[in-house]
Structure 1
């Protein structure tokens, strides 16, 4: 770990929001910056006048550095980036780099699904008692930006809450959060990783430097995926829907209890579904370590509003319930969404592939409430071919036509669920655009 980077030469790969934030933090600390962007830099801001940069590709010039920082969207598993290791040049994630310059406690959240919601719940709980709290990472604000804010304002004992993707955890050396939590581990990003084990290993990097001075919170159902020497430690904490050893437990009548006392009535919260109840249980374990008062935990949970595009209730039209779960980009999240629907359900799935997926492993005939699957887009044809002998399936390439068909098929008291299980990039720029289009189609239909 290099604490003093004054006059050090630093190459930063990627000039999106993460690369820009890392560059500004490094520049503030006195480093000499070289930015290497694979695409054209469209909006050349004034900061670029202070540094050296290249665009439209990565050249050998980027090797002339003491440290290299890579943005999460860049895959480093190739010959070009292996030369940094050959030349003994540290190749770091932005998360690793920024952590060197923060003196604060870090709460780090990863997992295949539920990261953004859980990070947001944890942040809202902490803010009930601690003013100086940052929310960042994969959720939108780069860690480097928050660390620079911490340095410039000389905040007293702030806390960083970080949502972290597997990509952000690939290049970790010394990163050691005060609290690390892995919500769940399922199959995802097989377009980036050779197999699911490699994907899980990237996630588990979050506890690479775990020791007696920090905490690890893990989901009971994934316990077998971790080394016993880690989860048997006194500072490893189990949680889960059916956990008997957690500090907070879920009752059959949908209450969260602690020490046999009712604490939260989940029917009075705005978060729907067992997957969200798990997210709440995880958040409470984090807050408990931080010694947040129980009444403030409960107040934050009751006040919390579901995030857009994450099992978002759009409304009920002609007895049909419409749910926007556009953030669902893997089959495990789609499965959780189906299981959270209490009515007969029509699901819309498809989009752009994130690698070879066996949909029959997740979407099984035991899902008795699932009446139709409408498949759309590039990956929709694959989903259709795999599931057509198990469910009532239709393939309709165009997204809007697929949504209109789902509305047409919906009977009294049905749920129409958009939970694609795939990336959005075939017909949309991002999952937000896809979710907004779904809402627009539904609203226009019932005008």
Structure 2
């Protein structure tokens, strides 16, 4: 079994179970660290709780007494738990280090780490990097907000495997020594201010992706994003910019004909399967990270010719306490939502609504037979409420934004339920694109405990 080297902590509190907390507790128990777990919503009968107790962990459920910090020298918190939470605030008063499981995972990782962050495009870029490396016969695994939790993934990785991490600002804020060999900073838009309070705090959290890098490392950054470019200048690592607007000899760029990296033509734009200007920016970042991590031009080209993307089209996001979350934000009409609903046999809690194009939703009503509850939002909320009632759905909840919608769906859900975002409407009343709407859904899901 791999061992944590120079790990100074003897006892740790894991605050919030979910996937990241469970993986963190598992890793620590495997390292013979004394573990205490504190969670508000998990039940005593949950198999995870039973297993943790069997392995020697102390588990405190249903409340957050300050005494859970007694005798503790490290706090590992679920990324979505804010720093003004009673336990986190008390830990700060006591001078305890506060981390997320990303920091813990990086302590155990033996091979190179590629960290990817940004307000948008993280999943697409992470997936591209993983696929480009794999197509180049470079051993690689992806984790973080994509696939398995990092603390689970690193325990079975070899020394030569690259670890590609999709990283949120919530995860990055809880790092101290985290040090990716290649860092990617895609973009920065105003988001999560309820958590970070200010855009400057949000940028500071994101910038921790390169804070501990040295001159032997690489920072790939978006030269078209003013805030990102300015923040990148403080990095000690080698800076590799990418741009859709300018020719960059030491970076990646695109013109009307092709995509380039450090003067080499990588692929003709006409050969790229993945469409969208925003995805071209993600492609430039992915090419840079992959090239610097050992990918071949042939491997990169093979991926770009075939990868058409999976995000926002019945995309499985995660499973939390027996609830299965799917992002189908690209369902901008009734037909698309009907197809999505027909994909599930489990009970569905449907999140829907958006731009009012003047149509009714009577056509959707026959497809709502497997829907146990609806959470509606946007200009069409009233119409969708009417259709939900017509389909004999007893619980229809009206919310104002995606964060509220996800929280409402969580409260309505039970183990075994599917929580599906499939709006049946365009996004433009509240979000500039369906991609942004889907990203907000994913980010809201990851704030649940």
The change in CA–CA distance for 1:120 and 1:371 in structure 2 (over 3 A counts) is: same
For the residue of structure 2 that corresponds to 1:398, the secondary structure is helix
Alignment of 1:231-250 (within 5 A): 235-245=238-248, 247-250=251-254
Is it true that 1:91 corresponds to 2:72 in the alignment? no
Bigger shift: residues 290-299 or 243-252: 243-252
Is it true that 1:166 corresponds to 2:147 in the alignment? no
Distance in 2, matches of 1:39 and 1:287, equals 40
- Post-superposition Cα deviations, 1:363-392, rounded to whole Å, max 9, x if no partner, equal xxxxxxx99599x96762xxx5xxxxxxxx
Is it true that 1:60 corresponds to 2:62 in the alignment? no
Structure 1 alignment gaps of length 5 or more: 313-323, 329-347, 352-369, 385-393, 403-419, 440-447
The change in CA–CA distance for 1:99 and 1:26 in structure 2 (over 3 A counts) is: same
CA contact (8 A) 1:378 1:397 kept: no
Bigger shift: residues 165-174 or 243-252: 243-252
Distance in 1, matches of 2:13 and 2:40, equals 13
Q: For 2:78, which of 62, 71, 78 is the aligned residue?
A: 71
Q: TM-score scaled by structure 2?
A: 0.70
Alignment of 1:25-40 (within 5 A): 25-40=27-42
The change in CA–CA distance for 1:400 and 1:160 in structure 2 (over 3 A counts) is: farther
RMSD of Structure 2 on Structure 1 (CA): 3.6
Distance in 1, matches of 2:312 and 2:358, equals 19
Is it true that 1:119 corresponds to 2:122 in the alignment? no
- Residue 218 of structure 1 corresponds to 221
Bigger shift: residues 204-213 or 219-228: 219-228
Distance in 1, matches of 2:47 and 2:72, equals 23
The change in CA–CA distance for 1:244 and 1:349 in structure 2 (over 3 A counts) is: farther
For the residue of structure 1 that corresponds to 2:126, the secondary structure is helix
The change in CA–CA distance for 1:4 and 1:247 in structure 2 (over 3 A counts) is: closer
Q: For 1:47, which of 42, 45, 52 is the aligned residue?
A: 52
- Post-superposition Cα deviations, 1:189-234, rounded to whole Å, max 9, x if no partner, equal 2222212222222111211212202111111122444547736877
CA contact (8 A) 1:5 1:30 kept: no
- Post-superposition Cα deviations, 1:91-129, rounded to whole Å, max 9, x if no partner, equal 111111221121211100010111001100000011123
The change in CA–CA distance for 1:75 and 1:232 in structure 2 (over 3 A counts) is: closer
- Residue 104 of structure 1 corresponds to 111
Deviation at 1:79, TM superposition (A): 4.7
The change in CA–CA distance for 1:425 and 1:399 in structure 2 (over 3 A counts) is: farther
Alignment of 1:185-264 (within 5 A): 185-227=188-230, 230=233, 235-245=238-248, 247-253=251-257, 255-258=258-261, 262-264=265-267
Distance in 2, matches of 1:93 and 1:164, equals 11
CA contact (8 A) 2:79 2:174 kept: no
- Residue 434 of structure 1 corresponds to 420
CA contact (8 A) 1:5 1:26 kept: no
Give aligned pairs, total. Answer: 356
- Residue 422 of structure 1 corresponds to 402
The change in CA–CA distance for 1:130 and 1:13 in structure 2 (over 3 A counts) is: farther
Distance in 2, matches of 1:128 and 1:117, equals 16
CA contact (8 A) 1:241 1:249 kept: yes
The change in CA–CA distance for 1:212 and 1:327 in structure 2 (over 3 A counts) is: farther
CA contact (8 A) 1:349 1:422 kept: no
- Residue 362 of structure 1 corresponds to none
**Runs of 4 or more above 6 Å deviation:** 231-234
- Residue 289 of structure 1 corresponds to 292
Distance in 2, matches of 1:182 and 1:6, equals 31
Structure 2 alignment gaps of length 5 or more: 316-326, 332-350, 360-373, 389-399, 426-449
Deviation at 1:243, TM superposition (A): 2.8
CA contact (8 A) 2:125 2:282 kept: yes
- Residue 279 of structure 1 corresponds to 282
Alignment of 1:301-340 (within 5 A): 301-309=304-312, 326=329
For the residue of structure 2 that corresponds to 1:206, the secondary structure is coil
